Chains A and B, each alone.
Chain A
Amino acid sequence: MAQLTMVQAINQALAGEMRRDDRVVVLGEDVGKVGGVFRVTEGLYDEFGEDRVIDTPLAEGGIIGTAIGMALYGLRPVPEIQFADFIFPAFDQIVSEAAKMRWRSGGEYACPIVIRTPVGGGIRGGLYHSQSPESLFIHTAGLKVVCPSNPYDAKGLLLASIRDDDPVLFMEPKRVYRAVKMDVPEGDYEVPLGRAKVVREGRAVTVVSWGAMVYESLAAAEHVSGEGVDAEVIDLRTLWPLDVDTIVESVKKTGRLVVVHEAPKTCGFGAEIVQRVMEQAFLHLEAPPARVTGWDTPFPYTLENEYLPLAHRIAPALASTAAF
């Protein structure tokens, strides 16, 4: 079995699905001949041609708007937005059109598009190449939001997303793109949407995270294990629909919850996760749920490691929550 990076795993998923299903098309800025800004679509143009791998004008609203049209026709478009920071010109198309298409048409039209976009910081990208805007999309009825943390999940979740009949925002943690290699089966497999994974078992405190922050959460868990705090770490994988059951089951065991995410704290997805736990496991809680997140500021360039909720900020939260 080959050891692949996330970039390679996503590329393999796209190529495999394009071979299997000729309705699948890829479009975006420089996704064709160049192979995408991160080379995720490298080689697809040569194999599938310009009718299925489309270099578009630099206009995100047009990329998503035309992808919606292709989906209405019956294709399975996979548009790429170069950075999630640049998704906002397409926000109207995603939120007002794609998300509402099935509902407003009485179920006559579906909009099965998968919007791939790199997210997150830690690559010295500054404020317009680092953001994590998941909450804005989770808040919109009709969208599914996915964020894999590793190459295996990235491939399986992408295949499940393309085969899903609803619009999916597929957020790729760019810090992980080439930082991790792992065994990825060459063949076809799906990681089902809506299922979180316990990536570290423990009994003292539950940590919920996703994307690049899973690694920081695991590092923090290792750190506090030396202090006798046995943390359980959950990788959400799909942010919406949320796998509440896995979280609640864990919190019922540990009685404690820490949520970690890169996005700003206020109205971040962590707040929703905490509230779900309050509703379903309140009497099991032994400590106030905590959030370790990005600050309520724009994403900084020089001070990005002070902004990000890295392990050195997570570990004290685990220790204090466990000791409460």
Chain B
Amino acid sequence: MHPTPLKVKQYIKQALHDDQLRAAVAKATATAVEKRQERANETPYWEQLRETAHACKKEVIDHLASYLEQFEKRCAGNGIVVHWAADAAEGREIIGRLARERGVKKIVKSKSLTTEEIGLNEALIGAGIETIETDLGEYIVQLEGKIPSHLTMPALHLSRRDVGRIFSEKLGVPYTDDPNELLGIARKNLREHFLTADMGITGVNFGLADAGSFCVIENEANAHLSLSLPPVHVAVMGIEKLIPSRKDLPVFLKLLAPSATGQRSSSYVNIIGGPSRTPFKEGPKEVHLVLLDNGRSRIVQDAVLRESLYCIRCGACLNTCPVYQQIGGHAYGWVYMGPIGSILIPQYLGEDEGRYPPFMCSLCVACRDNCPVQIDLPGHLLAMRNRVVEAGKSLPAEKAGMRLWAFFAARPLLYRFVTWFPGKLQLLLPGKTAFPAPGYMKERALGRFDSKGFRRRFYTHQKQGG
């Protein structure tokens, strides 16, 4: 069954009861946060990089139509066939048609959230084409029958024992939970697929508008093998992934790897500008680039929230988010998760289906401080919350609660009484117990009301010169 953000409450409960998941997420995110900080600390011009990256993305998104036309023209000049997909269905249709027309039987894919967004694998597999994820984490998750739980660490929710069990069940190999042996099994299987695939599909990290080429960044070499061994390479790129110039690419390269994995540099930075190796009798004979809108042009229409399109999918906001650290990625119910996911979900899926994720945030602003392109994530989350409320999508109990609060807030004397009274009433309770709150107290403790109350504390504080 497909996950949906409408069921986030159910997913959150499941996640909070899964101790192994929480331990795995906590370990992975803590390591990533620590390493990212080390990299930022050792780079004296880190903030300048962030500001410049922000300025580059602002320039592109504010003038996206012009940059797209320039990019398309230059790509076409380099022999890349450019396709435009207005939505997910059209994206699937284009790629399905390219495969069908070429009699493709097997496709190797490297990790791409954009293809997850359009449900490409299911469509291709449904059309009878063997479609194999080749990033180790994605391969594991595909065998498990789930979607990734992190932007850059897809199988973060699984332990080595889980992976051993999945390999044993799905691949029919003897059980082992040794990561080296597990990788060996995957490497052997996937190498064979790389060598025999008819098409390779990758995502795109950055499109270089002035050069008519695009960049695919990775650590495992699976993306390189996917884009260089099969005779056809199809890359799927969200229209927001452009940067103005190839000369701006180093700014982003210097930010992406440290923010994502804490590495100084990713192991492989591939730049593809067409079927360039054909004269050398090697590489794909055709390179296709699918430019995907799927709601992005609608987001650009919002002068404030368009900033969410600056995202370079590093996952730093997830790693540092206290909510994500507790519940992991599947709890968000879609392919994007964490703070950036909570903003993108309602924008892509609509404020009805995506009404819950913007509230999965404590507004601690750690995500904003860690974002390599300085997206004001908490500001956007607040804006999205307002929209959800304005669209009348908030919960009936929440609406009633706010109306009740507004009633008292507009009547200061009454407000003073109802905030003073519970503190006094609780003195009648035995010991230091709190008021009973059925349901709520099953999973957490309800604190005692402050016997002094906020107003009295505030005035005392002021008198003391605070």
A, B assembled together: no
B residues with CB within 8 A of A: none
A residues with CB within 8 A of B: none
